[in-house]
């Protein structure tokens, strides 16, 4: 079949060229559609259901909202797991779907069920699904602020309420329309509200209640349409407007009549603009601000979307009132551009180096160019493949591509064709006829096709274990493996079709038969060295073995990391304070923090979100803040060469001065990922499921005690579910009954006084603002005042709250976590100094023995040990299978286990070079380095197969074994050197680059370059000797491997 | 959040599996990163002067001080019944003249009404026996007296404020306590003493009335109006008083952060009485010790920050 394909390509070469053109065009077209981002998206398929329940404490939220939502989604198809948290005023249920589920389908399913659940919830409470976005979604942040001297229409300076109003009603509606944006999330400032604030005494004096005020407001603030009448042939529409327009109209509303006199609202309450009870705030450089975040629709192209948002924002800026600015503070385009330009530079420079190598080694510009053509062509084919398989272009997926490896197959084919054509010309002493040329090209391609096929197959095989990774690791590295495999397959197809066809078309003239200077001198050097290596083969072999041993030692001592962190260029600081910290306190502490960090000369701006934003995609308590530190361009730093690590140290030193905060330093995208995919983050998490929170905590403490006694446990932690100070107004039912009151009447007074009661809306054009009746701010915060609040009695009398209820301040539930429909508490621990599996087994045994669970309570074991176990299980099956398959492949090729083993033996030595190179550059082992080792396997097998098959060919032709090895090795010197040089030089820019994103590619490139040097040395020096040793005594007979 | 440790381990596992298997003999070992073990801080929190300044912490010395305990109650202004006079005719007759009308001030001994007695046809005058204001007038010239109250004089320079006390308040309130009377907006109108606490409670609100007689020369207290009373329950000098902001609840115990040699130490204290600003310490703190007053929360936060986490 392969023969036919090559033949077809030769005879129908123009057709092939045309097809290649079409494929290229398709690639260009697909490139436009390819989602480009800086890093791979590691978010799972999840739908968040957020429900705001203003005023509800965690317990009430769980009971009245979360449970209902969970109940509604139980039994949906394709659901992998659900988890929920119930916090103050917010319920968030996260539904994780199975891999591959269509997100819109999933949302539809949920939507259907939510409709049912809604009817059972308290009125006014509405579950809403979070935006259709992933962890990469937050692509653009902007801060709305006013110049110090800017004033509003009424002459007052802009406060955070005014800015928030502009954001909500001017900026946000416009930005939401930008294609690719699914949500504009707002945090900070205060939503404007109209506040009616009576004092208790005022109400008491007139015998009024909160309800009377709310009722009066509601009854005097509505427009009514009243149909139409016909008059003299005309039709008059009738409306009865009754909405209040402003504060003074509101104040004139009559609440009650006493002794024939109307009591107006303004007589019993102060009326003014007020501030909402907010759950979050935003800061910019030590001051409060209003922060907007553009969230990109799932699957969008972050670069184009954030560019569109930026240009829309600058257009909006022109329409804002004078002195008010919406300033971009974070734009994803910057990072993506930097990353992509790093990848591009590396690829272009690599490709150029490859062309130069080809030119020098082949001495034929046409051949060099046509080989180099394989690079862009296979890239374009890869683009098509990536769009089809929904792999996004990013540092990971494109970063592992090595042009050297891609063109290897083409290189050896072209090299062989040139050698053969030159030889044939020399033989015939004239230019070749077309048929002769085709024949030669066919034979030359056919001859070296096997090694190139095998090298590709080997690389694909070694990539298989990576494809088997699941979870976060899978999401991160599968695209990488997919891209490599697709690029190699493309190159393979091209080298079978395009390369022979192009060779046949282009290499028509006289082919230089003489090798150029470089190859000649290489051969001159190689000949004596090979002789020496052959005669000293045993010491050489022993030397190689010792070398491998040394490298094993080095490798075992090397540091490891999972994946080198992509430097996003900016820093994220999450500051955590103890639960129960108030928003105001948290903000004060945040201001201090920002001022301290801004003292660093490298910092441009620092903005943060404290607490929960309007769309609660990340439900943080007010005690937590997500801060983003934007750095100046390096050129503006006082020391442009300062490393990021040094800068982080400086930051930590500054942060250490601020007591009361704990910090987690990461990077903006990383932070968001962490928030979205969080599960149990320790090695072992023991989940206690049950009903009673106290019992859960008690069991959790017992388990923690048991864990602490087990050797190897470190950092045992019980999930922090309590600690939120809660002031309970405990009704004294007996006292209430003496006064003829119901609990509800007490609750109403408490709720209206502190939380406030909504009493309709005020419309200003499109804008609508809530009217809220509640106690004055100064009184709300006074516990003594709360105790004395009068509850109206049926007879017009009153009784203070303290008579019928007691106020108890006690720490209560901070948040209630649930998993798969049950309350859950996690006890987590890390394991140090012993194997995880053994630890988990012992922990399970000990907990079973020592902790007795009440009926209705059960345990679940989770944590990263699950991933580790499943990953190592997979790998322990797949890696041997892969090895057997590679060996089988070589067996089939050579028809001889011995030769297969010979080629196979080259792999360890190839890897040693990689290890040495990493060690020399002080780079830790990582998965990307691992991918480098995979590439090395391919190259090593390729050169090994080329070498061994050359020996075998010569032996088959009846040559003496010594002679066969010598001439075979000399013949293969050029292609092996070319393959090695091409692969190594192709990675050189990647290894040396230091710009954004380079840190991910550097280990890979380093490994390949180091490994190729050792692999080439092995193939050229050790392999011939080894082959000689193994085959000397054997009487070589023809095997039937030729297919 | 992705655990770096996990990454390291998995990374090590994957990479090393490749390495080890391909190299056939590579018995690579994952290097355990030494965990940056943070010892849970002991009882002391050390802060530098710079940190104290950054955190906005203020230090105070514990010592004796005055404690004002108050109670807020509601009530209304009543005319003092002991300072009012109802004018009725001594002998029934016809009213011949009125000298005073509603709102007029009268002096003691002033002539108010002249009546011609029906029996004797003698004219006689009705005289004011107190200073005051005419607050009611029920009759006019030419009418028969018919046993009616003709005029009412109230001495508004003396009024009663009647405050409603609820059962729980009664223990603390006693006769002789000072009361500050405010209007419903909170402006201070007068100050006086509780002179009487009614022994009988109202039936529907179960409240009892406490009386505060007040001078009302400026006429700021308008009978019938609604007032707020702040009763000073105690006004004591206590041996050990601290700023109320200093108290933090840590693990359900009241704690004050005390400055020691090695830093700030959270110390459990037994608390006594308190007013809005200060609180009495019964045990746990010595006179002269320095404690954290403002922003003591920062120290509580510092103490608990190891456990602060962002759970999902």
Write the pLDDT tens digit of every residue in B259-273: 887 778 888 888 887
From A929, which residue of chain B is nearest by alpha-carbon distance?
Answer: B15
Q: For residue A864, name the pLDDT band (cuts at 50, 70, 90).
A: low
Residue B310 has pLDDT above 70, yes or no: no
pLDDT of res. A428: 80
pLDDT of res. B20: 44
pLDDT of res. A184: 92
- Spatial separation of the C-alpha atoms in residues B68 and B234, rounded to whole Å: 6
Residue A311 has pLDDT above 70, yes or no: yes
Q: Is B6 on the interface with A (CB under 8 A)?
A: yes
Interface test with A, best of B18, B253, B306 (most A CBs within 10 A): B18
pLDDT of res. A754: 83
Give yes or no for a contact between A932 and A990, defined as CB atoms under 8 angstroms apart.
no
What is the mean pLDDT of the segment spanning A904-932?
A: 81
Which tops the pLDDT comparison, A838 or A73? A73
Q: Is A548 on the interface with B (CB under 8 A)?
A: yes
pLDDT of res. A66: 92
% of chain A exceeding 90 in pLDDT: 9
* A residues 18..37 contacting B (CB < 8 A): none
SS3 of chain B: the string is CCCHHHHHHHHHHHHHHHHHHHCCCCCCCCCCCCCCCCCCCCCCECCCHHHHHHHCCCEEECEEEEEEEEEEEEEEEEECHHHEEEEECCCCEEEEEECCCCCCEECCCCEEEEEEECCCCCEEEEECCCCEEEEEECCCCCCECCCCEEEEEECCCEEEEEEEECHHHHCCCCCCCEEEEECCCCCEEEEEECCEECCCCCCCCCCEEEEEEEECCCCCCCCCCEEEEEEEEEEEEEEEEEEHHHCEEECCEEEEEEECCCCEEEEECEEEEECCCEEEEEECCCCCCEEECCCHHHHHHHHHHHHCCCCC
pLDDT of res. B21: 41
Kindly report the nearest CA distance between residue A80 and chain B, in angstroms. Answer: 17
CB proximity list for A761: less than 8 A, separation 6 or greater: A221, A768, A769, A770, A771
Q: What are phi and psi of A135, to 5 degrees?
A: -65, -20
Pick from A693, A650, A27, A621: nearest CA to A382: A27
Is A809 close to B8, i.e. CB distance below 8 A?
Answer: no
Give yes or no for a contact between B260 and B44, defined as CB atoms under 8 angstroms apart.
yes
Is A660 close to B305, i.e. CB distance below 8 A?
Answer: yes
Q: For residue B13, name the pLDDT band (cuts at 50, 70, 90).
A: very low
Which tops the pLDDT comparison, A288 or A564? A288
A620: which chain B residues are within 8 Å (Cβ-Cβ)? 310
Which tops the pLDDT comparison, B13 or A981? A981
What is the mean pLDDT of the segment spanning A624-637?
A: 87
Lowest mean pLDDT among A157-166, A470-479, A598-607, A977-986: A470-479
Q: Choose the closest CB to A662 out of B19, B25, B306.
A: B306
Residue B34 has pLDDT above 50, yes or no: no
For residue range A67-78, list pLDDT tens digits in order: 999 999 888 889
For residue range A481-516, list pLDDT tens digits in order: 888 888 888 988 888 888 888 888 887 777 665 667
Among A788-797, A878-887, B26-35, B79-88, which range has the highest average pLDDT?
Answer: B79-88
Is A588 close to B310, i.e. CB distance below 8 A?
Answer: no
Q: Please, what is the angle between helix A998-1017 and helix A332-362, to 10°?
A: 20
Which tops the pLDDT comparison, A154 or B75? B75
Q: For residue A124, name the pLDDT band (cuts at 50, 70, 90).
A: confident
What is the mean pLDDT of the segment spanning A173-182?
A: 91
Residue A313 has pLDDT above 90, yes or no: yes
Q: For residue A928, name the pLDDT band (cuts at 50, 70, 90).
A: confident
Is A465 close to B14, i.e. CB distance below 8 A?
Answer: yes
Q: Is A85 on the interface with B (CB under 8 A)?
A: yes
End-to-end Cα spacing for chain A: 11
Is A868 close to B9, i.e. CB distance below 8 A?
Answer: yes
From A553, which residue of chain B is nearest by alpha-carbon distance?
Answer: B28
ipTM of the complex: 0.71
A469: which chain B residues are within 8 Å (Cβ-Cβ)? 14
pLDDT of res. B64: 86
B73: which chain A residues are within 8 Å (Cβ-Cβ)? 788
Give yes or no for a contact between B47 and A577, defined as CB atoms under 8 angstroms apart.
no
For residue range A359-389, list pLDDT tens digits in order: 887 777 888 888 888 888 888 899 899 888 8
Is A926 close to B45, i.e. CB distance below 8 A?
Answer: no
Strand partners, A229: A236
Give yes or no for a contact between A683 and A830, defined as CB atoms under 8 angstroms apart.
yes
Is B8 close to A929, i.e. CB distance below 8 A?
Answer: no
Residue A875 has pLDDT above 90, yes or no: no
* A residues 599..618 contacting B (CB < 8 A): none
Q: For residue A13, name the pLDDT band (cuts at 50, 70, 90).
A: confident
Q: For residue A312, name the pLDDT band (cuts at 50, 70, 90).
A: very high
Interface test with B, best of A544, A562, A684, A905 (most B CBs within 10 A): A562
B9: which chain A residues are within 8 Å (Cβ-Cβ)? 560, 562, 836, 864, 868
B168: which chain A residues are within 8 Å (Cβ-Cβ)? 802-803
Residue B98 has pLDDT above 90, yes or no: no
Give yes or no for a contact between A293 and A270, defined as CB atoms under 8 angstroms apart.
no
* B residues 211..230 contacting A (CB < 8 A): 226, 228
Residue B8 has pLDDT above 60, yes or no: no
- Spatial separation of the C-alpha atoms in residues A624 and A626, rounded to whole Å: 7
Residue A291 has pLDDT above 90, yes or no: yes
Burial of A645 (0-12, 13-18, 19+ CB in 10 A): exposed
Which tops the pLDDT comparison, B205 or A823? A823
pLDDT of res. A1035: 47
Give yes or no for a contact between A308 and A301, defined as CB atoms under 8 angstroms apart.
no
Residue A297 has what DSSP assignment?
Answer: P
What is the mean pLDDT of the segment spanning A980-986?
A: 81
Is B2 close to A677, i.e. CB distance below 8 A?
Answer: yes
Q: Is A784 on the interface with B (CB under 8 A)?
A: yes
Q: Choose the closest CB to A555 out of B14, B26, B205.
A: B26
B205: which chain A residues are within 8 Å (Cβ-Cβ)? 739, 793, 795, 797-799
A205: which chain B residues are within 8 Å (Cβ-Cβ)? 184, 226
**Strand locations in A570-640 (E):** 571-576, 603-611, 624-631
B30: which chain A residues are within 8 Å (Cβ-Cβ)? 560
Containing H/E element for A148?
none
Residue B23 has pLDDT above 50, yes or no: no
Average pLDDT, chain A: 83
% of chain B exceeding 90 in pLDDT: 2
* B residues 82..141 contacting A (CB < 8 A): none
What is the mean pLDDT of the segment spanning B222-229?
A: 86
What is the mean pLDDT of the segment spanning A564-572?
A: 77
Q: For residue A1030, name the pLDDT band (cuts at 50, 70, 90).
A: confident
Is B301 close to A933, i.e. CB distance below 8 A?
Answer: no
For residue range A953-963, list pLDDT tens digits in order: 888 888 888 88
Record the pTM: 0.79
Chain centroid, CA A539 distance in Å: 51
What is the mean pLDDT of the segment spanning A29-49?
A: 83
From A814, which residue of chain B is nearest by alpha-carbon distance?
Answer: B311
Which tops the pLDDT comparison, A1016 or B185? A1016
Residue A25 has pLDDT above 90, yes or no: yes
Residue A562 has pLDDT above 80, yes or no: no
% of chain A exceeding 70 in pLDDT: 95
Is B311 close to A817, i.e. CB distance below 8 A?
Answer: yes
Q: Is A809 on the interface with B (CB under 8 A)?
A: yes
Lowest mean pLDDT among A95-99, A443-447, A717-721, A750-754: A717-721
Burial of A371 (0-12, 13-18, 19+ CB in 10 A): buried
Is A830 close to B5, i.e. CB distance below 8 A?
Answer: yes
| Contacts across the A-B interface (CB distance below 8 Å) | 269
Kindly report the nearest CA distance between residue B65 and chain A, in angstroms. Answer: 22
Check the CA dihedral B51-B267-A785-A740 and report its sign.
positive
pLDDT of res. A868: 67
Give yes or no for a contact between A397 and A480, defined as CB atoms under 8 angstroms apart.
yes
* B residues 264..283 contacting A (CB < 8 A): 276
For residue range B132-151, list pLDDT tens digits in order: 888 888 888 888 888 888 88
Average pLDDT, chain B: 78
Number of other residues whose CB lies within 10 A of the CB of residue A863: 25
């Amino acid at each position: 079949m392969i023969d036919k394909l090559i033949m077809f390509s030769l005879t129908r070469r123009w057709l092939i060229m045309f097809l290649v053109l079409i494929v290229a065009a398709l690639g260009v077209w697909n490139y436009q559609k390819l989602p480009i981002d800086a890093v791979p998206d590691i978010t799972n398929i999840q739908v968040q259901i957020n429900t705001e329940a203003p005023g509800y404490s965690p317990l009430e939220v769980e009971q009245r909202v979360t449970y209902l939502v969970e109940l509604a989604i139980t039994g949906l198809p394709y659901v992998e797991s659900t988890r929920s948290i119930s916090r103050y005023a917010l319920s968030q249920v996260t539904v994780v779907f199975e891999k591959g589920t269509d997100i819109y389908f999933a949302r539809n399913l949920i939507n259907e069920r939510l409709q049912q659940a809604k009817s059972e919830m308290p009125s006014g409470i509405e579950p809403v699904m979070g935006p259709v976005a992933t962890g990469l979604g937050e692509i653009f942040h902007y801060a709305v602020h006013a110049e110090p001297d800017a004033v509003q229409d009424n002459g007052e300076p802009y406060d955070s309420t005014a800015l928030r109003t502009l954001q909500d009603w001017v900026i946000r509606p416009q930005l939401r329309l930008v294609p690719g944006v699914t949500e504009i999330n707002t945090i900070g400032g205060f939503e404007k509200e109209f506040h009616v604030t009576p004092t208790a005494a005022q109400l008491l004096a007139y015998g009024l209640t909160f309800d009377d005020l709310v009722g009066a407001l509601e009854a005097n603030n509505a427009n009514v349409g009243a149909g139409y009448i016909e008059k003299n042939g005309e039709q008059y529409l009738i409306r009865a407007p009754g909405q209040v327009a402003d504060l003074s109209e509101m104040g004139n509303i009559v609440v009650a009549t006493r002794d024939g006199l109307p009591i107006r609202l303004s007589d019993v309450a102060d009326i003014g603009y007020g501030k909402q009870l907010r759950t979050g705030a935003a800061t910019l450089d030590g001051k409060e601000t209003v922060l907007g975040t553009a969230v990109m629709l799932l699957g969008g192209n972050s670069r184009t979307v954030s560019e569109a948002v930026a240009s829309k924002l600058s257009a909006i800026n022109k329409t804002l009132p004078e002195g008010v600015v919406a300033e971009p503070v974070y734009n994803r385009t910057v990072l993506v551009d930097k990353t992509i330009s790093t990848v591009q530079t590396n690829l272009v420079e690599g490709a150029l180096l490859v062309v130069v190598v080809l030119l020098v080694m082949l001495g034929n510009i046409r051949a060099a160019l046509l080989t180099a053509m394989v690079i862009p062509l296979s890239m374009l084919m890869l683009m098509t493949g990536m769009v089809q398989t929904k792999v996004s272009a990013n540092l990971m997926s494109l970063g592992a591509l090595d042009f050297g490896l891609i063109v290897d197959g083409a290189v050896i084919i072209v090299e062989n064709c040139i050698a053969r054509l030159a030889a044939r010309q020399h033989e015939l002493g004239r230019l070749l006829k077309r048929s002769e040329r085709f024949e030669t090209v066919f034979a030359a391609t056919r001859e070296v096709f096997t090694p190139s096929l095998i090298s590709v197959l080997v690389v694909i095989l070694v990539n298989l274990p990576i494809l088997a990774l699941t979870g976060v690791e899978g999401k991160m590295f599968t695209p990488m493996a997919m891209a490599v495999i697709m690029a190699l397959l493309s190159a393979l197809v091209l080298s079978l079709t395009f390369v022979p066809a192009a060779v046949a078309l282009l290499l028509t003239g006289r082919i230089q038969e003489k090798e150029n200077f470089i190859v000649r001198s290489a051969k001159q050097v190689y000949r004596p060295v090979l002789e020496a290596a052959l005669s000293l083969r045993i010491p050489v072999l022993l030397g190689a073995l010792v070398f491998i041993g040394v490298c094993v030692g080095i490798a075992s001592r090397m540091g490891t990391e999972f994946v080198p962190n992509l430097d996003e260029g900016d820093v994220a600081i999450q500051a955590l304070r103890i639960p129960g910290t108030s928003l105001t306190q948290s903000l004060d502490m945040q201001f201090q923090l920002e001022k301290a960090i801004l003292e660093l000369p490298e910092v441009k701006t620092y903005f943060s979100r404290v607490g929960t934003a309007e769309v609660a995609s990340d439900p943080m308590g007010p005690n937590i803040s997500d801060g983003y530190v934007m750095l100046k361009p390096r050129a503006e730093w006082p020391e442009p060469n300062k490393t990021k690590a040094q800068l982080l140290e400086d930051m930590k030193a500054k942060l250490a001065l601020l007591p009361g905060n704990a910090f987690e330093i990461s990077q903006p995208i990383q932070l968001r990922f962490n928030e979205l995919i969080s599960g149990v983050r320790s090695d072992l998490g023991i989940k206690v499921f049950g009903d009673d929170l106290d019992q859960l905590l008690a069991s959790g403490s017992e388990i923690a005690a048991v864990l602490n006694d087990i050797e190897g446990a470190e950092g045992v932690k019980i999930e922090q579910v309590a600690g939120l100070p809660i002031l309970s107004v405990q009704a004294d039912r007996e006292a209430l009954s003496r006064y003829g009151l119901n609990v509800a009447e007490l609750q109403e007074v408490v709720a209206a006084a502190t939380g406030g009661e909504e009493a309709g809306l005020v419309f200003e054009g499109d804008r609508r603002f809530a009217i809220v009746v509640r106690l004055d701010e100064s009184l709300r915060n006074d516990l003594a005042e709360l105790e004395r609040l009068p509850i109206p009695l049926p007879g017009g009398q009153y009784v203070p709250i303290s008579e019928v209820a007691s106020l108890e301040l006690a720490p209560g539930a901070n948040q209630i976590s649930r998993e798969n429909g049950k309350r859950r508490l996690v006890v987590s621990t890390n394991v140090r100094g012993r194997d995880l599996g053994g630890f988990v087994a012992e922990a399970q045994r000990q907990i079973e023995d020592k902790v007795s669970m009440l009926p209705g309570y059960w345990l679940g074991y989770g944590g990263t040990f699950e991933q580790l176990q499943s990953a190592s299980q997979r790998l322990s099956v797949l890696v041997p299978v892969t090895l057997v398959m590679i060996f089988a492949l070589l067996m089939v090729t050579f028809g001889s286990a011995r030769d297969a083993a010979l080629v196979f033996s080259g792999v360890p030595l190839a890897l040693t070079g990689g290890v040495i190179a990493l060690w020399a550059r002080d780079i830790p082992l990582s998965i990307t380095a691992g991918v480098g080792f995979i590439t090395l396997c391919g190259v090593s097998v390729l050169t090994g197969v080329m070498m061994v098959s050359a020996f075998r060919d010569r032996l088959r032709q009846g040559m003496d074994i010594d002679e066969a090895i010598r001439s075979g090795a000399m013949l293969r010197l050029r292609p092996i050197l070319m393959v090695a040089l091409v692969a190594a030089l192709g990675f050189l820019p990647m290894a040396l680059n230091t710009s954004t994103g380079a840190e991910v590619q550097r280990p890979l490139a380093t490994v390949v370059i180091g490994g190729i040097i050792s692999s080439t040395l092995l193939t050229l020096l050790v392999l011939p000797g080894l082959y000689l040793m193994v085959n000397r005594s054997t009487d070589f007979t023809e095997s039937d491997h030729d297919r | 959040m992705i655990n770096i440790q996990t990454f390291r381990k998995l990374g090590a596992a994957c990479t090393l599996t490749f390495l080890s298997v391909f190299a056939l003999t590579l018995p690579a070992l994952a290097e355990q990163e030494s965990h940056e073990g943070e010892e849970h801080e002991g009882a002391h929190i050390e802060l530098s002067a710079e940190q104290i300044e950054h955190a906005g912490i203020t230090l105070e010395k514990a010592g004796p001080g005055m404690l004002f305990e108050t109670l807020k109650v509601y009530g209304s202004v009543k005319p003092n019944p002991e300072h009012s006079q109802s004018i009725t005719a001594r002998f029934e007759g016809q009213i011949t003249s009125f000298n005073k009308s509603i709102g007029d001030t009268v002096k003691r001994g002033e002539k108010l009404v002249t009546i011609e007695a029906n029996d004797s046809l003698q004219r006689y005058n009705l005289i004011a026996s107190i200073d005051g204001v005419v607050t009611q007038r029920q009759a006019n010239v030419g009418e028969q007296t018919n046993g009616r109250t003709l005029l009412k004089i109230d001495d508004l320079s003396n009024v009663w404020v009647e405050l409603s006390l609820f059962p729980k308040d009664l223990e603390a309130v006693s006769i002789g306590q000072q009361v500050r009377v405010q209007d419903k907006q909170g402006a201070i109108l007068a100050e006086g003493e509780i002179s009487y606490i009614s022994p009988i409670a109202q039936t529907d609100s179960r409240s009892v009335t406490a009386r505060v007689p007040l001078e009302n020369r400026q006429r700021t207290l308008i009978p019938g109006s609604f007032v707020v009373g702040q009763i000073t329950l105690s006004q004591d000098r206590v041996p050990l008083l601290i700023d109320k902001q200093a108290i933090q609840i840590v693990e359900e115990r009241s704690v004050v952060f005390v400055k020691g040699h090695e830093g700030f130490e959270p110390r459990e204290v037994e608390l006594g009485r308190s007013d809005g600003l200060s609180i009495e310490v019964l045990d746990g703190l010595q006179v002269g010790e320095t404690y954290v007053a403002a922003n003591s929360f920062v120290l509580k936060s510092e103490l608990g920050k190891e456990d602060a986490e962002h759970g999902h």
